[in-house]
């Protein structure tokens, strides 16, 4: 087996894509070879670090709304409507109440 | 999943038949994923927000050509990717993760920064498959379609990318995990 084939096997194992029989042979090979064990462990760590680094990249509510308004605005324009037609009361500036 | 694809088909038909309001519902289905993907490509929330808006606006502008043939998601990701590539050609700043502050999770925060920096330093050929397959959890077949390459080529880039990322991270990994 050449280096590329060995690497391919490692990735298939990490992706859970090895058939059961081969996976069991691979586990035995890992048990026998510290180099293989360390290669698999370091790739696993690297993948965990990738997940950790990008965990929680959800949109905030403000971001979600801004994008939606932009899209719906253009959709309304494409259908010949006014993007936003405020009622007269909405045009009044909020005034601070005097004490 | 079945429910999602039939909802998608209905919405795409509505959009193709001139119901522009359907784009809002399509955005509800895919907006979050496209935002995360563009943020991971661009490392900047404001740019990701722009790219997400523009992705759906392009869908809207080409709504007459839409076909609900199951390849919509692939097409959507392809549009988003092209927009990201255009943005990446411009000079930009790497945005730090929100927890990148000094404190008890210092090592983890440092690792987050190191990983984002390492990923953005990788050649696009390696970065794309890593983001699509390992972060977005998209199958190799669909990722290959998005990138317009064969599945063996995708896998080869993915495997090389994983090792390149691991090698770039080096000591930061051992320290933080």
Percent of chain B at pLDDT above 90? 53
Question: In a 10 Å sphere around its CB, with 0-12 CB exposed, 13-18 middle and 19+ buried, how is residue A29 labelled?
Answer: middle
pLDDT tens for B27-78 read 999 999 999 999 999 988 999 999 999 999 999 988 877 766 668 889 999 9
Which of left, alpha, beta for B11 (phi over 0: left; psi -120 to 50: alpha)? alpha
ipTM of predicted assembly, 2 dp? 0.78
Mean pLDDT of chain B: 85
Measured between beta carbons, the chain B residues lying within 8 angstroms of A7 are 159, 163
* Confidence label for B9 from pLDDT (cuts 50, 70 and 90): confident
Measured between beta carbons, the chain A residues lying within 8 angstroms of B56 are 67, 71
pLDDT along chain A (99 residues), means of 10: 80 91 91 91 92 86 93 84 54 53
Neighbours of B71 (CB within 10 A): 12
The three-point CA angle A2-A13-A57 to 5° equals: 120
- The predicted structure's pLDDT at residue B102: 43
Mean pLDDT along residues B131-150: 94
Mutation site, B115, B138, B168, B172, interface A, largest A CB count within 10 A: B115
Mean pLDDT along residues B95-105: 52
Tally A–B CB contacts below 8 A: 108
Contact B126, B157 (CB under 8 A): yes
Mean pLDDT along residues B84-91: 86
The DSSP result for B49-110, as a single string, is: HHHHHHHHHHHHHTGGG---SS-HHHHHHHHHHHHHHHHHTS--PPPPPTT-SSSTTHHHHH
The three-point CA angle B97-B35-B69 to 5° equals: 155
- The predicted structure's pLDDT at residue A81: 61
- The predicted structure's pLDDT at residue B112: 86
Contact A70 B53 (CB under 8 A): yes
**Is the minimum CB–CB distance between B171 and chain A shorter than 8 Å?**
no
């Amino acid at each position: 087996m050449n280096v590329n084939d060995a690497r391919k096997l490692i990735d298939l194992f990490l992706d859970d894509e090895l058939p059961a029989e081969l996976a069991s042979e691979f586990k035995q090979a890992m048990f026998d070879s510290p180099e293989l064990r360390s290669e698999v462990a370091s790739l696993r760590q690297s993948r965990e670090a990738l997940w950790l680094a990008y965990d929680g990249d959800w949109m905030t509510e403000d971001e979600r709304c801004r994008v939606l308004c932009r899209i719906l605005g253009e959709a309304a324009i494409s259908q010949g409507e006014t993007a936003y037609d405020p009622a007269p009361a909405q045009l009044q500036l909020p005034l601070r109440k005097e004490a | 999943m079945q429910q999602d694809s039939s909802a998608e088909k209905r919405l795409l038909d509505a959009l193709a038949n001139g119901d522009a309001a359907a784009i809002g519902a399509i955005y509800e289905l895919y907006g979050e994923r496209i935002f995360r993907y563009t943020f991971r490509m661009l490392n900047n929330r404001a740019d990701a927000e722009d790219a997400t808006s523009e992705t759906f606006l392009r869908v809207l502008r080409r709504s007459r050509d839409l076909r609900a043939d199951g390849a919509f998601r692939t097409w959507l990701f392809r549009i988003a990717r092209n927009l990201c590539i255009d943005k990446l050609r411009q000079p930009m700043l790497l945005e730090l993760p929100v927890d990148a502050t000094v404190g008890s999770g210092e090592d983890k925060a440092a690792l987050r920064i190191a990983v984002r920096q390492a990923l953005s330093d990788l050649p696009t050929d390696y970065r794309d498959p890593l983001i699509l397959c390992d972060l977005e959890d998209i199958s190799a077949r669909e990722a290959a379609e998005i990138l317009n390459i064969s599945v063996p080529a995708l896998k080869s880039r993915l495997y090389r990318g994983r090792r390149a990322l691991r090698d770039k991270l080096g000591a930061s990994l051992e320290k933080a995990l």
